[in-house]
């Protein structure tokens, strides 16, 4: 993707369709800013139609996960064909909250390949649970990246987006979040791992975005000289003004 990437992960919020409409209404006030980005909104499944219809002029639809089921009848599951019919163009895969529920890197790999076959861009989330002073977390991160991308070919890898999401900073305030210098170091490491797997040419085509307590207060610092190509935003994405400020940090030169 040539543009900087901004993904609003609403998770299981807001609590009602009326509130979701209000968020979208407030987003629309900053639509010219969002149009400068590859802006995706990943709402809870019941809000897919509303987001697709109301935000189509300035954003793209994303989903928070996909179901790994073959063709057939599966009560409660939503197949990729239905998600695509709503206009879904990106899928968040391997999010730390999904992994915490027991999802394995092998399952993430399978979902990546399923999304690619369906023509949906996989946004692959990786990140260490904790950081240690000896740097052993880098080896944990390396293993998770390699396991999550196992079986993904060079040609397909060039079509994914990778989100670095250190679990230990999620839910912290902006002042306690990952320092820009540490983020830059992690991005360099991730690029090296991708280069080891796919070679420099393919690795350079894989955008690395950051997720982990991204707010308007720290977005500007995190966007500068860290090598990230955008943000995956959680709780702050429900506040339109915060999202506008985060978008501004990615569009300013």
Residues labelled as active-site residues? 95, 165
Distance CA 30, CA 34 (A): 7
93 close to 115: Cβ distance less than 8 angstroms: yes
β pairing state of 88-93 and 60-63: parallel
182: Cβ contacts below 8 Å, ≥ 6 apart: none
Residue at token pair 């899928």: 91
Closest CA to 244 of 21, 1, 59, 48: 59
Strand 121-126 to 161-164 pairing: parallel
Task: Count the residues in the chain.
Answer: 253
Beta carbons within 8 Å of 35's beta carbon, 6+ residues apart: 58
- Cβ burial of 98 (10 Å; 0-12, 13-18, 19+) is middle
Backbone angles phi, psi at 243, to 5 degrees: -65, -35
Rounded distance, CA 152 to CA 158, Å? Answer: 10
Q: Is the dihedral of CA 241, 245, 251, 253 positive or negative?
A: positive
Residue pointed to by tokens 């670095």: 164
């Amino acid at each position: 993707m040539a543009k900087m990437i901004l993904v609003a992960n609403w998770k299981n919020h807001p609590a009602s369709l009326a509130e979701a409409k209000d968020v979208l209404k407030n987003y629309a006030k900053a639509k010219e800013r969002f149009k400068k980005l590859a802006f995706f909104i990943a709402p809870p499944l019941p809000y897919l139609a509303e987001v697709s219809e109301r935000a189509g002029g300035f954003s793209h639809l994303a989903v928070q996960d996909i179901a790994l089921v073959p063709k057939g009848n599966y009560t409660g599951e939503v197949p990729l064909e239905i998600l695509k019919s709503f206009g879904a163009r990106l899928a968040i895969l391997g999010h730390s909250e999904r992994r915490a529920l027991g999802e394995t890197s092998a399952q993430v790999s399978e979902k990546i390949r399923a999304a690619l076959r369906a023509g949906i861009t996989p946004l692959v989330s990786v990140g260490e649970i904790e950081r240690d002073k000896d740097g052993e977390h880098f080896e944990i991160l390396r293993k998770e990246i390699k396991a999550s991308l196992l079986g993904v070919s060079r040609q397909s890898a060039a079509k994914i987006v990778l989100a670095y999401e250190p679990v230990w900073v999620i839910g912290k305030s902006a002042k306690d979040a990952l320092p820009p210098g540490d983020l830059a170091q992690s991005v360099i490491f991730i690029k090296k791992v991708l280069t080891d797997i796919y070679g420099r040419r393919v690795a350079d085509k894989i955008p690395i975005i950051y997720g982990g307590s991204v707010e308007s207060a720290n977005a500007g610092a995190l966007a500068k000289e860290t090598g990230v190509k955008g943000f995956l935003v959680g709780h702050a994405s429900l506040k339109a003004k915060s999202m506008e400020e985060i978008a501004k940090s990615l569009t300013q030169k």
